[in-house]
Amino acid sequence: MDETCNVLVIDDEAVIREGLRQTLVQEGYRVELAANGKIGLDKLQKDSFDIVISDLKMPTMHGIEVLKTIRILQPEIPVIIITGYATVDSAVDAMKNGAFDYLTKPFLPEQIVEKIQAAEKHRAARLTELPQGIDKVEIPACGSFVGRSKPMQKVFQRLLQVAPTNSTVLITGESGTGKELAARAIHNHSQRKEQPFVAVDCNALAENLLESELFGHVKGSFTGATQTKPGLFSVASGGTLFLDEISNLSMTTQAKLLRVLQQREVTPIGGTKATAIDIRLIAATNRSLEIMVEAGTFRDDLYFRLNIIPVELPPLRERPGDAAVLINHFVRKFSEEIGKEIKGITPEARISLENYSFPGNVRELENIIERAVVLAQGEQICRGDLELPGAADDDEEEINIPLNSEELKEKKRLARERAVEPVEKAFVFAALERNNWNVTKAAEETGMLRPNFQAMLKKLGVSVKNHSAS
């Protein structure tokens, strides 16, 4: 028996917990105790355990719920179910949901030790069968979620473990760490992948508009409601609804969201008839909901509903080695998209990136590389092409002209204009072709004012006179 084996005991009866602790400690095991399923799962996510013993009948969370959640979070951990209400059905149910073994109360100390020893052997065999590390998780139509560091390996494993289930997922992490990418990875590896993935930024709309977007409204329910409109809960039915920055919901909207999650039906604003929905909910936030609950700005009952399966995305500064992998990935990606043959970056540029803190995380790195690919004049990205915030402009070493020279500034400006011009031309040509060369429609589609779009056409020497529309 491995003396470092850690056992988590989950039971609402203090006598049983203490009895198991004494028995297993005498055998050389390390033992941690939890008085209910929720406490047990919290401990499981914060500490490392090799085996779990869980009671079947408990308040707050049933033993089968505990078992199912452990099978999702850490499927390699054997779970032994114990109960004083033994029936054939309960035993079958436990084993069907992935329990390693089943033991009825009362039991002898040697019986539980025997089960633990068998579970140890089973776990050791399972660990040798686990797949090697994953470099990336592919997301159809969205590219790849990339990383080789240990923190990201854990994230990838969890994403792939939770994807096949219908459990609610709460994704946390700083801005720019890829929370929507993680949500799309879960959806695209789930049984709902052929159904809609609907993303909502809870920070982008005012409270009344957000409620209308989420729950829908009937005609005449408020000023401007000229027609009945289904909410995004209904639109996403059968698929996945992703609520980004959920910490921005008002307490009123939180209450309505909680009711929808509890009843699995939604009533539109101004309506009287509820409609059943079938969604998988994924929420995300860059703030601590636990702190918000303590401050009274987020409902604790909604937090517990959302935090079934937590996924924490590490910031880029805590992902050793991943910056280099991501740089290469983004250089290839944007070289193909923009149509330039960029083969890599110079050692000086790479050192500058490695020394940069990336407060905007992966999103900031992606934007920096996209800009550098556009600006690069050769086959490699140079340090000056990066334009890192707060960094000195040091292309003068390559061009060999003094830093403060007006001639240098003009030469660099012209060089960048030449580099950007093909991209701008491709941009306006594509917009015009999509809109049958109608300048007004093309400007609207790209989000530009018509005079600004026309000015860009004039600067690039693009004429619409010889085409079907103007």
Instruction: State how far Cα 161 lies from the chain centre.
Output: 13
| Contact (Cβ atoms closer than 8 angstroms) between residue 384 and residue 393 | yes
Give the pTM: 0.58
Mean pLDDT, the chain, whole residue set: 82
Q: Assess whether 299 and 237 both reside in one domain.
A: yes
Range from 78-87, 278-287, 315-324 carrying the lowest mean pLDDT? 78-87
Q: Is 111 inside any structural domain?
A: yes
Among 364, 394, 424, where does a domain finish? 394
Q: Is 165 inside any structural domain?
A: yes
Instruction: In the chain, count H helices and then E strands.
Output: 20, 18
Q: Is 401 inside any structural domain?
A: no
Q: Assess whether 31 and 115 both reside in one domain.
A: yes
CATH of the domain at 176: 3.40.50.300
What burial letters (b/e) apply to 75-102, b meaning 16+ CB within 10 Å?
eebbbbbbbeeeeeebbebbeebebbbb
Provide the number of structural domains found in the chain. 4
| Contact (Cβ atoms closer than 8 angstroms) between residue 196 and residue 106 | no
Q: Assess whether 207 and 303 both reside in one domain.
A: yes
CATH of the domain at 349: 1.10.8.60
- pLDDT score recorded for residue 470: 39
Q: Assess whether 369 and 268 both reside in one domain.
A: no
Q: Is 456 inside any structural domain?
A: yes
Averaged pLDDT for residues 161-176: 93
Q: Is 229 inside any structural domain?
A: yes
Q: How many CA atoms lie within 13 A of 334 on its CB side?
A: 21
Q: Assess whether 154 and 270 both reside in one domain.
A: yes
| Contact (Cβ atoms closer than 8 angstroms) between residue 47 and residue 89 | no
Residue 136 predicted with pLDDT over 90 = no
Q: Assess whether 48 and 143 both reside in one domain.
A: no
For the stretch 220-236, pLDDT in tens is 777 667 777 888 888 89
- pLDDT score recorded for residue 231: 82
Q: Assess whether 285 and 173 both reside in one domain.
A: yes
Q: Is 103 inside any structural domain?
A: yes
Structural domain span for residue 449: 406-470
For the stretch 440-455, pLDDT in tens is 888 887 767 787 788 7
Q: Is 399 inside any structural domain?
A: no
CATH of the domain at 449: 1.10.10
Q: Assess whether 232 and 324 both reside in one domain.
A: no
Q: How many CA atoms lie within 13 A of 62 on its CB side?
A: 7
For the stretch 372-410, pLDDT in tens is 999 999 888 999 999 888 665 444 344 333 444 555 555
